Homo-oligomer: A and B are copies of this chain.
Amino acid sequence: MGEQGKAKRGIPAKADFNAWYPAIVEIADLVDKRYPIKGMDVWRPYGWKAMKYIDALTHAEMERTGHDEVNFPLLIPEDLLEKENQLVARLQAAREAGIDVSELRFDEEVEGFSKEVYWVKHAGETELDVPMFLRPTSETAMYTLFPLWIRSHSDLPLKTYQIVNTFRYETKQTRTFIRVREIHFFEAHTAHKDEADASAQIEEDLEIVDNIMSDLCLPVIISKRPVWDTFPGAWYTIAIDVIMPNGRTLQVASCHHYRDQWAEAFGMTYEDVDGNHKNCHQTTYGMSERLLGAVVGTHGDDNGLIFPPKSAPIHVVLIPVAAHKSEAVMETVTSISDKLRSSGLRVHIDDRDKRAGKKFYDWEIKGVPLRLEIGPRDIENGTAFAARRTGGKQPINIQDIVVEVSNELKAIESELESRTSSIMDEMVTPMESLETEIKEGMIYEIAFGGSDADAETLEKTTGLTILGECMTQFEEEKPCIISGKMTTKRNHLARMY
């Protein structure tokens, strides 16, 4: 990690989040935004490491839950979209027959879709017979092959995922990790024997979400999106939102239950135990580099990043103090490093020829959770001086260094959890009437049992977006903000990224 071509000065105050965020992602060496395509940053080593440690949490959860990793081609031939067009026709027929409104938006979306993709129409000096597009997600690519993989009930459930680059031609303002044009994307796609089994998959997805968000010390709001924010072709969408310090919510993950809506169009059927052919029910679950955006935005402070230990590229930085005065210093530092590394911790020794203060400053910017200073006097005392990135310093015992450091890291995790929960409590405030004055940077919690039309009224009146029915209901009934009828249904109004 060099210090090539960047200034380590002038971190804006975190209070000015809209200035702080775009500055810190470069100052902390996560990305370089000088690549000459808008919305396509270069991942620098430190940022890429952080992303890969977050991916490792995802891989571990996929392994635990029996998902197999695949890797599909990036390019999708336009003619595969015919299947989706058939789906549209089917859904239109369903609409005419008065079935399920959730399906209605799909045709609009397919139209909108061509506005959002990058097209490859030329290869070499040839104009291609069939244009191809860069995947925005992989439904079309995968559901072309799934019918070849699924024959009978014994092939189900099919649980696959991939972590790949996807592309979206964003016309809105791009922001590092939050709104980009080349997306580092996780997508799980599953097929099941029936609706109930697919629903159970959504439950498992939410368990995975819980585990990963807890690893990243990120409190979230989990909501069933209203029908107009349901993913096209989905029966319902559950979205996971993080509250960023400027009061905007950032959707970091979403799960979709497709029922059997795609199955017929793509011929995704199977033979059950009795020899009958049935449609598969499907789900998807997506996450992206927004997770890193949320980690950066939520935990950082005026001095730089703060990494929750499980995503930190470096857990512990060791700073030898006055090493020129005593050979014992580097010996001790090396021995501590060896012990910590063999226990699986990620350690960096900063033996640069710089003032200690400069070193502290650099690693604070980079958000390393724990710093250990080791000088001749510490060694005499059998201790290292531990400074938590979240604040607080104390000597810890070198003898029990692995246990001591693990405890420090656990304490840092708890501190981050309690900070973010209390910030969330501050930012989410109950709204009991439509008269409430809407303040910038606040999220409003409401009791709401109304219809889609009521929800639309709510959005218009407040100028905010409704996140959808929260998966955690109120414990006691409250009057609905629109009708006054008692309900335990919880909902939120917010500004979304």
Chain B residues contacting A44 (CB-CB under 8 Å) are 70
Let me know if B115 and A124 touch, CB within 8 A: yes
Query: Which one of B42, B69, B116, B144 contacts A72 once the chains associate, using CB atoms below 8 Å?
Result: B42
> Which chain A residues numbered 41 to 72 have a C-beta less than 8 Å away from chain B?
41-45, 48-49, 52, 68-72
Let me know if B40 and A68 touch, CB within 8 A: no
> Which chain A residues numbered 126 to 169 have a C-beta less than 8 Å away from chain B?
126, 132, 134, 141, 144-145, 148-151, 154-155, 158, 160, 165, 167, 169
> Which chain A residues numbered 68 to 127 have a C-beta less than 8 Å away from chain B?
68-75, 77, 80, 114-126
- What residue of chain B has the Cβ atom nearest to residue A148's Cβ? B5
Let me know if A182 and B74 touch, CB within 8 A: yes
Let me know if A4 and B155 touch, CB within 8 A: yes
A271 at interface (Cβ–Cβ under 8 A)? Answer: no
Let me know if B68 and A43 touch, CB within 8 A: no
Chain B residues contacting A80 (CB-CB under 8 Å) are 36
Q: Separation in Å of the A150 CB from the closest CB of chain B?
A: 6
Q: Separation in Å of the A209 CB from the closest CB of chain B?
A: 23
A151 to B2, alpha carbons, bound, how many Å? 11
> With A118-B123, A149-B5, A158-B2 as given contacts, are A68 and B45 in contact (CB-CB < 8 Å)?
yes
> With A69-B49, A124-B114 as given contacts, are A4 and B34 in contact (CB-CB < 8 Å)?
no
A32 to B125, alpha carbons, bound, how many Å? 29
Interface centre among A123, A144, A165 (most CB of B within 10 A): A123
Query: Which one of B45, B123, B165 contacts A165 once the chains associate, using CB atoms below 8 Å?
Result: B165
- Main DSSP-derived SS at the A contact region: mixed
A72 to B37, alpha carbons, bound, how many Å? 11
A158 to B45, alpha carbons, bound, how many Å? 12
Query: Which one of B5, B70, B75 contacts A42 once the chains associate, using CB atoms below 8 Å?
Result: B70
Let me know if A123 and B169 touch, CB within 8 A: yes
Chain B residues contacting A40 (CB-CB under 8 Å) are 73, 75
Number of copies: 2
Let me know if B118 and A114 touch, CB within 8 A: no
Chain B residues contacting A122 (CB-CB under 8 Å) are 118-119, 121
A483 at interface (Cβ–Cβ under 8 A)? Answer: no
- What residue of chain B has the Cβ atom nearest to residue A49's Cβ? B69
A1 at interface (Cβ–Cβ under 8 A)? Answer: yes
Chain B residues contacting A115 (CB-CB under 8 Å) are 124-125
Let me know if B1 and A34 touch, CB within 8 A: no
Let me know if B4 and A124 touch, CB within 8 A: no
Q: Separation in Å of the A136 CB from the closest CB of chain B?
A: 11
- What residue of chain B has the Cβ atom nearest to residue A112's Cβ? B124
A171 at interface (Cβ–Cβ under 8 A)? Answer: yes
A148 to B40, alpha carbons, bound, how many Å? 17
Let me know if B155 and A2 touch, CB within 8 A: yes
- What residue of chain B has the Cβ atom nearest to residue A149's Cβ? B4
Chain B residues contacting A49 (CB-CB under 8 Å) are 69
Q: Separation in Å of the A135 CB from the closest CB of chain B?
A: 11
Let me know if B37 and A75 touch, CB within 8 A: yes
Chain B residues contacting A169 (CB-CB under 8 Å) are 123-124, 126
Q: Separation in Å of the A248 CB from the closest CB of chain B?
A: 25
Chain B residues contacting A74 (CB-CB under 8 Å) are 74, 165, 167, 182
Query: Which one of B3, B42, B120, B141 contacts A71 once the chains associate, using CB atoms below 8 Å?
Result: B42
Let me know if A32 and B69 touch, CB within 8 A: no
A382 to B467, alpha carbons, bound, how many Å? 61
Query: Which one of B36, B52, B116, B124 contacts A171 once the chains associate, using CB atoms below 8 Å?
Result: B124
Query: Which one of B37, B75, B117, B148 contacts A73 once the chains associate, using CB atoms below 8 Å?
Result: B37
Let me know if A69 and B42 touch, CB within 8 A: no
Let me know if B34 and A148 touch, CB within 8 A: yes
A171 to B125, alpha carbons, bound, how many Å? 12
Chain B residues contacting A36 (CB-CB under 8 Å) are 77, 80, 144
Chain B residues contacting A134 (CB-CB under 8 Å) are 120
A1 to B68, alpha carbons, bound, how many Å? 8
Q: Given known contacts A41-B73, A74-B165, A117-B123, what 4 new A-B pairs fall within 8 Å (CB)?
A: A4-B149, A32-B149, A43-B71, A45-B68
A and B contact pairs by CB, cutoff 8 A, 25 listed = A1-B68, A2-B149, A2-B158, A3-B155, A4-B151, A4-B155, A5-B150, A36-B80, A36-B144, A40-B73, A41-B73, A42-B71, A43-B71, A45-B160, A48-B71, A49-B69, A74-B165, A74-B167, A75-B118, A115-B124, A115-B125, A117-B124, A118-B122, A121-B122, A165-B165
